[in-house]
Every structure is written in structure tokens, then in C-alpha cells.
Structure 1
Amino acid sequence: MDRVLHHFNEAFSLPLTNPVLVFTLVLFIILISPIILRPIKVPGIIGFILFGVLLGPHGLNWLSKIDRHSVNITGVDGIDLFSTIGLLYIMFIAGLELDMNEFQKTKNKSIFFGFCTFAFPIAIGFPVCYFLLGYELLPSVLIASMFATHTLVGYPIVNSYGISKKEVVAVTIGGTIITDTAVLVILAVIKGMSEGQIGPEFWITLGISLTIFLAVLFGIIPRIAKWFFSKIEAEKTAHYIFVLTVVFLSAFLAEMAGLEHIIGAFMAGLALNKLIPNSSALMNRIEFIGNAIFIPFFLISVGMLVDLSVLFSGAWALVIVGTLAVVSISGKFLAAAVTQLVFKYSNSQRNLMHGLSNAHAAATLAVIMVGYNSGIVDENVLNGTVALILISCIFASLLTEKASKAVVLEGNQEIEDMDHVEEREERILIPIANLNKMEPIIDFATLIKSKKSPYPLHILSVVTDNEQAERNVKIARKNLDSMVKYASGSETEVEMLTTIDYNIAGGIARTSKNLSAACVILGWPSATSFIEKIVGEKTESILNRTDTNLMMCRLDNPFLTHTSITIFVPPLAESEIGFEYWMEKMLKLGQELSLPICFICDRRTEAVIENTLKVMKTSVTALFKNYEDWDNIYGLATFSNVDSLLIFVSARHGEVSYRDSLDGLAKRVGRYYRNQNIILIFPKRRANSHHIDAYEDVPTAPIFRKISREIGNMFTKE
């Protein structure tokens, strides 16, 4: 009994040293902090810091730093390790989630705002720190540069109001790249000066090492990553481990180049930006693990450094906190105001920029932590910075919400929200043909599916109605379980459907109609016998029996192998009622994959597409190439390249844009482009547009048209 009590007292002696108990306590903090703060609408980041203050060495002393030279390895050492990972994780995700298309579209305005939001806070902050607060040169520059950083804490608010694609928001996001990168470079110089390393040799060494570092990071690592993701496609766990390896390798290389490791992590995010789509399973794993474990550990460890008694030890500490808050808010406001005057934004748009750029969190903590650990700034600044984070996050959230409401009242909602309400009702149906080909099709559907739709992806298995139907239904449902497991990797909600029908095409058509599916996504039609080609029981019948948008996909290669998207749009395709839908989906695909889109079309169609792009306000880079001889489909081969995702827009027989040259397009392009990913789009057609195919109750109904088509193909050179 005494031994048990002794063990109990030892385990719960303060500060806690039992690694299991420490880890349990930290996980408990991570669990309850958002729950407690959610009702009062306080960002979760603040809760983690507050718990760190409360339980840290200057609070209840449940968690405490220990002597690094101690031979005992405890759970608190784990906090140090996890907090370092969390800091790198924050910077990595910041680089990974930047919309490079948005930045390219508004880069000039973003550069201007980035300069303003970098220069004005420093211009105000430096004299205040140097002359008013009495700090020396290096600490004054470091603190002033800290004012220039900002974290987009208010972005979810903007997104919820439907104005996330407004130009003013894109400019603010682009400015984040400019100002945070500039501050991190200044941080490396300041640290070098504090260690007495500044001189001609320092600048030469820094220039050479930085050049080598950038060459490795943006020249070699993306190529290795592209090869790895494509060759080790089935090992999803290996993808995540590879990404972590790149992050920490980049952080280490940055240190070797004389920079801070956080710069390496940030640059790693930029290097992998185009290889990891935002809706992919890999991105979901990265964000989930980071937000669940590593980042909260870092924030808690920051709170553990704060000594609240310093804030209340005298008037000077309060002066520092007040000064930091006033300088930060005024500097960011001045940057937004000047940008407003230059680009003629409204007051509401100015306030929106101010709110988005005013919150200090990740990069601010990173800068001050480096300065504090290097002995450049003292505890007063550290504690004042943490107080600034609390103040700025709350102020920014309130201002962003107020400004977002004002922008909406001015009539600046997304056109997408007003004109495309059907996205909220979007249902996508994916019939299963070949289980081995389903994973890339689910990935594709996840990338193009509207985020506004509350409905899952509907995955359908049609079982032929015969004496084995009941047994086959059980087998089909068992096979569908693997699809559920795969889709869960990207948090994609799926619904498995099994139906019995005399005809597979009929079962798909009936299910599509019952669901009011906006789109049916099929695998590529497999090679069949000559008789089956003529009869066309599966693909042709599905096409004829459905009116909704239909996409056939051959996705044998990973999406990351592509450098562009090429869309072949025949004349009058803009007249089809499904034109707007497939345009939205392809633009969303381009945005998710960060790829430019090249449209191959005639002059009339080009003008309509250009107008549509303006209405949709997309950030995707769009190019146009003219082609007029659409009766010669094989002439399109001159516009394709081996690294491009090829998308052919066709039409059902009898529709406005249909022409004989589009007949049998899947077979012909599939044969010509054997090793490339291909998507074939059939836009939605008007309901009740009855012709012979509408009465296809048996597979042989269109046999005469199919026979004439096959005879015609015999005399066509391929």
C-alpha cells in the first residue's frame, strides 16, 4: 500500500514529469479549450495560450521546463519536440494553402498592399520602440518587423459571408506572402547581427547559400515529390511521411543556409503547393494532424513562457502592452487606407482589409520566439506580444465580421451565390464498373464537387435481375465497403447504393432520375467485341437514357503529373444548358490543381467563354487557341501535349452542338491518346427532348444508327 501511495505521490508531484500523464493533460486541454471558448466566439488559438499560461511554470506549475542536460527523458521534453513541430507546421500550412492563382491574378495590387502593410507598421513601430520605449537598435527593428506580420484569422468569417473571392480579399491574401516573407528574411539578418556575423562575408555567404537553398527547394524537391506521388500512388501513408520529411529537411536546409527553420518550412509549403490539392485526402491528413496535435502543442508551450506577474508588476509592462496594441492597429489601418485611396476601394472594403490583416498569431509568435531565445528581446516584449495576440485576434474577428456585413449590404456578394443556387442541391452519381479504377474517379469527384452541397457522393452498383440477384447484391455491398474506407481518407461523405434492374443502363438512369443527380461520372468504356460495339449496351445506353451532365473519365495517371488542362470546346457548345455547369466544374478543377486552362474553340465560343470567366470571377489562368475546322477532329492533336489533362466536350445525338465528327469520340481519342488522362463531357440536355434514343427500352434499339456509324468508320482514316 505504501508503495502504491509513493508511486501516486511521485506521479502527481508538481511539476508533472510522468510522460503519460503530461501527454494526457495536454490532450485534455486540446479537447476542452475550443468547447469552452466556442460559445463566446473566441478563436481557439487564444484558449491554448491561456491554458499554457494557467498550467505553466508561472501559473499552477503543472507543466514546466526542465534542464535539457538531465538524463531523465520526460513528457515535457515531448512538449518541446511537439511544439517545435507545431511551429514548423504552422508555417508549412501557411505556404501550402496560399492560392497561387489568386496571387497571380492580383499580383500587382497584392505587391502594393504587401509593401504598405510591411513598411507602414515598421515605419511607425521603429521610432516608437527606439525613442519612446528606449530599446536598442536591433530589438527595435525586430519588434517593429513583428508589427508587419499578420495571420488570416478572420478568413473563415469572410468565407461564411460568401465574399471570399472578392478582389479585396485576394489582395489581402497576396499581401500576406509579401510581408511575411520579407519579415522572415529580416529576422535572419537581425539574428546574424546579434551574433556579430554581419559583414561582406556574411552577405556573400547568405546570397550563395540562399541561392542553393532555393534551387534545391524549388528545382529538385518538386520533381522528386512528383515522381514519388506518381510511383508510390497506392501507399497513402507514405505520402504523408514524405511530406513531413520534406518539411523538416527544408527546415534543416534553411538553417544550414543561415536562415531560420521557419523560413524553410514556409518555402516547403510553397514548393509543394501545386502538388497537393486543397480537397485531396493528403491535404486533409496534413491539416487534421496539425490542427489536432502539433499546432496546439506549440501554442500551449508559448503560453507556458508567459509570466503574467510581469504584466502587473508595474506601469511599465502595461505601457508596453498598450503601445504594442496601438502601433499594431494604427500601422495596419494606415496600410489599408493608402491601398483604398490608390485602388478606389470603399470604406467597407478598406475595413475588410484592415480586419483580415490585423490579427497577429503564427508568424508574430515565430518572430518574437526567435528574438526571445536569441536574447534580443526581453520578457516584457514576450508577454506584451502574447497580450497583443489576444487583443488583435479579438479585434480582427469583430472588425472582419462587421466589414463583411457591410460589403454584403453594398451588394458585393459573389455572383456565384446569386446565380448558382443549384450548387446547394448538387448530387453526383458514380456508377461502379471496375473497382480497380474507382479511386481516381472518387478523387476527381471530390475535387469538382460543390462545397455548398450538403449531399454525399452517391456510389451505385447495379445488379442484374436474375436468379443470382440476391446473392450478387450482398457481394456488391461488400465490394462497396472498400470505397467507403477510401473516401473517408479525404473526409468525403459517400452513400452506397445498390439496385436491381434488368438492364445496367436502365438501373443507372432510374437512380439518376430519382436522385435528381446534377452529374453522372463514369469510368472509361472498356474495349468490347464488334457486336457489343454495335449494340452499345452500356455506355451508349447510359448516355441515351439520361438527360443530366455526364462525364467519362480515364484517369490512369496521378493528377500531379499534369502541367496544364486543355479543353476542346466544339462550336455552339455554349448553347447547351449544361454549359455553365461543366465550366464551373472545370474551373474548380483547375483551381484545386493550380493548373492553367487552355480552351481550344472557335471565335464565337471564345467570346462567350471569356464573358463567362468574368462573371464567375475565377482565379484560374485561362488561355485560348483558335480552331475552326471541327469536322476534322484529328486536327485537334496539334494542340495537345503529353503533360496536359485532356478534356473533350461533346454532345448527345440531336442536341444543338452535336455534329457527326463527334460520333464515337470516346473510342477515337482513347485510341489516339493511349497514355494520357482524358475526360469526355456530355452536357445536360433539355428534358423531354425526345428522339429515337429516348425510347431505348432494349439494348438493340439504336442498332441501325450504330451499324451505319461503324460502316462509316471503316472508311475513315485514323
Structure 2
Amino acid sequence: MEQISNFLNLPFTDPVLIFSLILLIILFAPLIFDKIKIPHIVGLIFAGALFGPNGLNVLAYDSSFHLFGQVGVLYIMFLAGIDVDMNDFKQNKNKSIVFGMYTFIIPMLLGIATGIVLMYLIYNNLSGGEPITWVSGEASDSNTLIKYCALSAIVLASMYASNTLLAYPIVSRFGVSRNRSVNIAVGGTIITTVLALLVLAIVLEVARGEMNYIFWLRFIISLSIFGFIIFYLFPRIARWFFKRYADNIVQYIFVLAMVFFASFLAKLAGIEYIIGAFLAGITLNRLVPKQSPLMNRIDFVGNAIFIPFFLISVGMIVNFRILFDGYLTLLTAVLMSVIATLSKYLSAKAARKTFKMSNSEESMIFGLTNAQAAATLAAVMIAYNFVIGYTASGEAVRLLSEEILNGTIIMILVTCIISSIVTERASKKIAISDISNEKSAGIYKPEHRILIPVSNPNTINSLMELAVLIRNKNEKQPIYALSVMSNNNYESQGAIESQKLLEKAVSLGAATDNKVKMISRYDLNIASGISNVVKEKNISDVVMGLHSKTTFSDSFFGSMTDALLSGVNRMICIFKSTQPMGTIKRVVVTVPADAEKESGFNKWCDRVFTLSEHIDAEIVFYCNANTTRSIASLAVARKNHIQPKFMPFENWDEFMTIKTAITSNDLLVVISARKLSPSYQTSFEKLPTQLSESFQENSFIVLYPEQFKEGEVDQMQNSTTKII
């Protein structure tokens, strides 16, 4: 009993017991607060306050919480950078810049105007009217007090200016992330967050008394070196690493190392760690596909461990009891919540007037940008730990006081609730409007039933990667993994190996939160087995690897592929991978004349556009004028994030001229055709030789669109003509 009593002494000291309690808090706090419609981020902060030294005193705020809290805030900023769709920002660049300035300047003006008065009241209340001894050694007079009130007010205003896209998952759930209001809000968030963090860094230097021309010279030089390393060296190092090391765990450790090294470099450059983490996310944004095992691991570890630790550590230093100690703390919380919400509302209203937006779009911008969380918490923690002086009684005077810290928690609670409610209502209205517009415009919405025939353990990773990247992220249909065997002996070695491949496909799908359904089939031959499954499961796409030639007379694609092309009219992608998709910079698509006349034209266009968006790669089409108009029309209708580029390509006999335009980081997509189809050309007969001789170093996809009407393919099965 005595041993148990020692374990239960408060605060807990046993590391296993502490970690167990933390995990229970991380598990149950979101569940409980979700029931009462409060964002779980606020729930974790409240849990930290409840169990921390200012609450039940179950957990002590020691060095471990400080360490994991620091890691957590850097992780939050990294996720904010890596989750941003840079193409959204480019597409609405000018509007995003204008709104970014609105949502930065308006909160700064309101925040400074009200903050100076508020900080003067707080400092006077803290010192009891007695002079404050400043760390900088400045005179303890009213002018110095006003100066520090102004500096504190600027930091407070920068907290109002920054925002976190906490409600973005709501937008994704309703499928309206391509709406221009969302794009503008995301772009504006990038601008205002970076500016707010830079303001914080400059104010801290002023408060240290180091603001002079030497500081500015050093700051500009160090910032330039930092920018060169982050924006020039980091992407090249990361691309080199991802090409050579495919293991997801190794890649994840590499990404973490890049993030924390960037944070350290930011500190060396004279700015805060969180700016380095945020810019590291921006830098790695294009190299980590959103639908990839690596991105899934980044999200999972951050949201499961690091970020909750940070939120709990924030709650542990909050003392809610002072809310009842006097009017000042309550006034601070109310004022901060009102100013933060009002300033973002006025910014959204200004954007609506400037860009002639609808009420729903205005609400969307306001909802997305109203939530205060990551950057706000980071800034208040940095400023709270920055001591600028001491009272006559020896109490520390902080750049942002305890009243501001506690007021920030209330502000986060209020803004997160408002943000969630407003964003959900706006998303519903925009989604209903988009559905109505799509029906009237006849926009193509393809069904995704993807089949992957698995037989080669060396290609299954790349095939699963491609299958995930050509799917819409909200697709509900599973990916089908198929193993076809002609031997009906279930105990054979081949059956065992096939089962292992199917299980690996399921594992790879789970790593990206995609359901994979295994199919084992025994048929006369592989082509027949695939063809039958395509019909039985109503498959829309077949994704398969490039055949490895076993004999000199064997065709480039293999006899099985040839037979499949003649027996299946659905879209078939033959994929050869030489590098991870995340390292692809550009997708180059060659399209034959009359491709727009094929029945599967819209479908393959949608798949190619989706692929380029998921890997954040530029897309270039080589095609004639008629096909260009058709593809451009589809791009406009589906509101592409990445605007396609077009190059004239009139004669397929000149296919090899494209070789000079292809670089090592390009993905070549060749749109081919079955014989007797409208876009078929005799030049396709040369394609196997051209690909094998001139594009060995490139990843490429040979794509056969869905062609012919039902029944026409059956007639072709009896054809003796070889199809390539």
C-alpha cells in the first residue's frame, strides 16, 4: 500500500504513469469536447489546465513538457506550411495578396489602438503604480512605460493578424476546396502569418535594445543566407534524398531533421524558430504528395503525439483562477475575443466588396480566417516567456502578461467555435450551389473503380502510388488488387506468394488511408482473369506495370497486355517508374489527333489533371489545336488548381522531337489508342521502340483510354491483328 501511495503522490513523478495519463488525456479530451461541439484543440488545453500545477496539480510542468511543447509548436507550423496548396495561391495570387494585406493591416490597426490602453492598465495593475525596473536599463518613467506598452500592443495585434486554417477539414469534407474564396483565404493566410511572425521577431529585437543599423544590416544579410538555404538548397537536397531512399520511415526521419534544422537556422538568422518550421513546410510542400504514405505519417504522428503535447503544455501554464481575481482578466479575454473576431470579419467584408463576392464566399473567408490557434499560441508563448522588467516586489514583467495568456485561451475557444460554425454553414451553401452549377454545365464526374493486377513485388509500390494519386481524395470505392493464377492448387508456392503480394497491397493502401480489396482468381490465363474481373466489378481503370521481356520475340508490352487491350474497353495505364512521384516536377502529355472524339476522353483528362494536382506538378499537353480547345474547356469546367500549358503537336511521326524537351524530373504520359478507334495512328507501331530506346531514364505512362461501345470490343477479340 505504501508503494501505491508513493506512486499516487501529487504531482506524479513516475514517467510511465505520467505518459499513461497524457495518452488518456489525448484520447478522451477530444471525444468529450466533440460531444459538446467544441474543437478538440480547446479540449486539450483545458485538460492541461485541469491536471496541471494550477489545477489539480497531477502533472508538474517540468523540462519534458517544455521540450515536447517546443517540438509541438514547431510541428504545428510545419504542418501549416506543408498543407498549403501553393497552386491555390498562384492561381489567385493578386487577390490573395490584397486580402492578405487586409487581414494583416486591419487587425494590426485595431489591435494596436486597443492594445496600448489594455497593456497600460495591465502594467499599472501589476506594478501597483510603483516604478518598473527595465531589463534594458532604461529610465523608469512614463515614456519608457508607453514604449513597452506599444511594443506589447504590436505583438498582441500580430496575434490577431495571424490565423490557423483550423476549419479547413470542413471545407475538404464538403468538397468545396477549389472555390475561389477558399483559395483566397489560404493565400491570405500565408501572407498574414509570415508578416505577423516577422513583426514578432522585430519587436523582440527592439525589446532587447538591439535595434540599430547594424541590426538591420545583419538581419538582411542573415535573412538572405537563410532564404538561399531554405528555398534553393533544401528542395534540391530533399529531391536527391527522396529519389535514392524509398523507405517511408527513413523519409519521415529525414523530413523531421529538415524541419528542426530549418528552425535552428531561422534562430541563427535572427528570427524565431517557428518561421523556420513554417518555411520548411512551404519548401517541402511540392515534394510530399498529399495522398502519400509519407504525408499520412506526418499528419498522424503530429496530430497523435507532438501537437497534443504542445496543447496540453500550454494549458498547464494557464491559471484560470485569475479570471475571478478581478475585472482586468475578464476584460482582457472579452476584448481580445471581440477584436480578433471583428477584425477578421471586417477583412472578409473588405474582400467581398473588392472582388464582388457572394455572401457565402464572404462567410467562407471569414470562417476560415477567424480561428486563432497555431501561430497565436506560438507568439503568446514566446512573448510570455520574454521578461522585460521587474516590479518593486521582484515580480517579472513580461512582454505579454499572464492576463493576456489566459485571455488568449478564451479567444482561441471563441474564435474556433465561431470559425467551425460559420465555415460549415458556408460550405453547405457553396456545395449546393456547385452541384447545381455542375448539373447545368454537364461537368463530368467519373467513377473510380481501380484494378491493380499484382504479380511483381518490384512494381507493386509504384502501382499503388499511381492508383492513389489518380483517385479523387474523397472517393469511397476501394482499390481492387487482383492476383490471377492458372494453377488451382491452393497450397502451391505461387498461391502463397500471390497472397503475400495482395496483403502488401492492402498494407500500402492502409498507409494512405485507402481501402484495398483483395481478389484471388483462378482462370485459364491472366488476361482472361483480368477481363472477367473488369466486367464483374465494373472496373473503370486498370493500372498495371510494364512487362519485362522474357524472350527476344516477346513484344514490348507483352502478349498478356496485348490480349488485355483487345478484350477490355476500359482505361488501361501501363506504368514504368524510375523515381518517386513526389520528385516529379512536370507531367508531359502527348495526345494524338481526334483524341477528343473518344468516349473515354473526359475520363483520362480527369485522371491526368488529378495526378498533376496531387503531386503538385506543372502539366504540359502536346496536341493539335482542336484537342487543345477541348482540354482547355475541361480544365476551366473542373476549376483546375494547376492551369495546363499547351504546345503544338500536329504530326505523331514527329514524336521523337519531344525528347529534347523532356528532363530527368518529368513524367511522360503517352495517350495511345486501340486499333480501329478514331484517334489510332499507324505511328503507334513505333512507340515500343521509341520508349525503350529513348526514354529509359524517365518514368512514363502509356495510357489507353476507354474506347468503343459495349460489344465492339467483343468483336475485336476474334481479330488476328496484333495490338500494341
* Common fold: TM-score over 0.5: yes
Structure 2 residue runs of 5 or longer lacking an equivalent are 122-148, 387-397
| Residue in 2 that maps onto 1:191 | 204
User: Are 1:100 and 2:86 matched, yes or no?
Assistant: yes
| Residue in 2 that maps onto 1:616 | 638
Give yes or no for contact 1:162–1:413 (8 Å, CA) kept in 2. Answer: no
* Cα shift at 1:162: 2.7
* Cα shift at 1:419: 5.4
1:177 to 172, 190, 201: 190
2:167 to 129, 154, 164: 154
Give yes or no for contact 2:549–2:558 (8 Å, CA) kept in 1. Answer: no
The one-letter amino acid of 1:221's match is F
| Residue in 2 that maps onto 1:10 | 6
Q: Show the 5 A alignment for 1:415-434.
A: 415=438, 423=446, 425-434=447-456
Residues 471-524 of structure 1 deviation map (CA, whole Å, 9 limit, x = unaligned): 633442134333333333333321221111112111111011111111001111
Residues 221-240 of structure 1 deviation map (CA, whole Å, 9 limit, x = unaligned): 2211111111122x321111
User: Are 1:60 and 2:72 matched, yes or no?
Assistant: no
Give yes or no for contact 1:666–1:680 (8 Å, CA) kept in 2. Answer: no
Cα distance in 2 for partners of 1:569, 1:421 equals 20
Give yes or no for contact 2:443–2:637 (8 Å, CA) kept in 1. Answer: no
Which secondary structure state, in structure 2, belongs to the residue aligned with residue 684 of structure 1? coil
User: Are 1:323 and 2:335 matched, yes or no?
Assistant: yes
User: Are 1:294 and 2:314 matched, yes or no?
Assistant: no
User: Are 1:90 and 2:76 matched, yes or no?
Assistant: yes
Q: Which stretch shifts more, 150-159 or 168-177?
A: 150-159
* Cα shift at 1:686: 3.1
| Residue in 2 that maps onto 1:493 | 515
Which secondary structure state, in structure 2, belongs to the residue aligned with residue 61 of structure 1? coil
Q: Show the 5 A alignment for 1:74-473.
A: 76-131=62-117, 134=120, 136-233=149-246, 235-374=247-386, 375-408=398-431, 410=433, 415=438, 423=446, 425-465=447-487, 472-473=494-495
Give the CA RMSD over aligned residues.
Answer: 2.2
- Give every structure 1 segment of 4 or more consecutive aligned residues whose post-TM-superposition deviation is greater than 6 Å: 466-469
User: CA 1:535–1:334 in structure 2 vs 1: closer, same or farther (change >3 Å)?
Assistant: closer
Matched length: 686
Which secondary structure state, in structure 1, belongs to the residue aligned with residue 574 of structure 2? strand
* Cα shift at 1:256: 1.0
The one-letter amino acid of 2:86's match is M
The one-letter amino acid of 1:402's match is R
| Residue in 2 that maps onto 1:606 | 628
1:502 to 502, 507, 524: 524
Q: Which stretch shifts more, 94-103 or 404-413?
A: 404-413
| Residue in 2 that maps onto 1:70 | none
Cα distance in 2 for partners of 1:133, 1:390 equals 22
* Cα shift at 1:254: 0.9
Which secondary structure state, in structure 1, belongs to the residue aligned with residue 290 of structure 2? coil
Give yes or no for contact 1:564–1:595 (8 Å, CA) kept in 2. Answer: yes
* Cα shift at 1:607: 1.0
Cα distance in 2 for partners of 1:18, 1:612 equals 62
Cα distance in 2 for partners of 1:417, 1:495 equals 35
Give yes or no for contact 1:650–1:680 (8 Å, CA) kept in 2. Answer: yes
| Residue in 1 that maps onto 2:40 | 44
* Cα shift at 1:469: 8.5
| Residue in 1 that maps onto 2:705 | 683
2:20 to 21, 24, 39: 24
* Cα shift at 1:77: 2.9
User: CA 1:6–1:421 in structure 2 vs 1: closer, same or farther (change >3 Å)?
Assistant: farther
Cα distance in 1 for partners of 2:595, 2:26 equals 53
Cα distance in 1 for partners of 2:448, 2:512 equals 19
Which secondary structure state, in structure 2, belongs to the residue aligned with residue 461 of structure 1? strand
Cα distance in 2 for partners of 1:659, 1:59 equals 76
| Residue in 2 that maps onto 1:525 | 547
The one-letter amino acid of 1:125's match is G
Cα distance in 2 for partners of 1:650, 1:209 equals 52
Cα distance in 1 for partners of 2:656, 2:440 equals 39
Q: Which stretch shifts more, 189-198 or 532-541?
A: 532-541
* Cα shift at 1:216: 1.0
Q: Which stretch shifts more, 525-534 or 352-361?
A: 525-534
Cα distance in 1 for partners of 2:659, 2:261 equals 42
User: CA 1:412–1:193 in structure 2 vs 1: closer, same or farther (change >3 Å)?
Assistant: farther
User: CA 1:608–1:535 in structure 2 vs 1: closer, same or farther (change >3 Å)?
Assistant: closer
Cα distance in 2 for partners of 1:418, 1:474 equals 50
Cα distance in 2 for partners of 1:655, 1:543 equals 12
Q: Which stretch shifts more, 78-87 or 446-455?
A: 446-455
Which secondary structure state, in structure 1, belongs to the residue aligned with residue 422 of structure 2? helix
The one-letter amino acid of 1:434's match is N
Q: Which stretch shifts more, 155-164 or 276-285?
A: 155-164
Give yes or no for contact 2:291–2:473 (8 Å, CA) kept in 1. Answer: no
| Residue in 2 that maps onto 1:714 | none
Residues 335-384 of structure 1 deviation map (CA, whole Å, 9 limit, x = unaligned): 11111111101122112111111111111101111110112011000000
Residues 673-698 of structure 1 deviation map (CA, whole Å, 9 limit, x = unaligned): 111101011111133352686334xx
The one-letter amino acid of 1:645's match is L
Q: TM-score, normalised by structure 1?
A: 0.92
User: CA 1:51–1:535 in structure 2 vs 1: closer, same or farther (change >3 Å)?
Assistant: closer
Cα distance in 2 for partners of 1:218, 1:282 equals 21
Q: Show the 5 A alignment for 1:532-547.
A: 532-533=554-555, 537-547=559-569
Which secondary structure state, in structure 1, belongs to the residue aligned with residue 555 of structure 2? helix
| Residue in 2 that maps onto 1:636 | 658
Cα distance in 1 for partners of 2:713, 2:63 equals 74
The one-letter amino acid of 2:41's match is I
Q: Show the 5 A alignment for 1:526-675.
A: 526-533=548-555, 537-663=559-685, 665-675=687-697
Structure 1 residue runs of 5 or longer lacking an equivalent are 66-75, 711-718
* Cα shift at 1:560: 3.6
Cα distance in 2 for partners of 1:682, 1:50 equals 56
Q: Which stretch shifts more, 595-604 or 638-647?
A: 638-647
Q: Which stretch shifts more, 436-445 or 627-636?
A: 627-636
Give yes or no for contact 2:54–2:318 (8 Å, CA) kept in 1. Answer: yes
Give yes or no for contact 2:100–2:189 (8 Å, CA) kept in 1. Answer: yes
Identical aligned residues as a percent: 37
Which secondary structure state, in structure 2, belongs to the residue aligned with residue 435 of structure 1? coil
Q: TM-score, normalised by structure 2?
A: 0.91
Give yes or no for contact 2:527–2:564 (8 Å, CA) kept in 1. Answer: yes
| Residue in 1 that maps onto 2:390 | none
Q: Which stretch shifts more, 56-65 or 157-166?
A: 157-166
User: Are 1:35 and 2:31 matched, yes or no?
Assistant: yes
* Cα shift at 1:175: 0.4
Which secondary structure state, in structure 2, belongs to the residue aligned with residue 325 of structure 1? helix
User: CA 1:16–1:189 in structure 2 vs 1: closer, same or farther (change >3 Å)?
Assistant: same
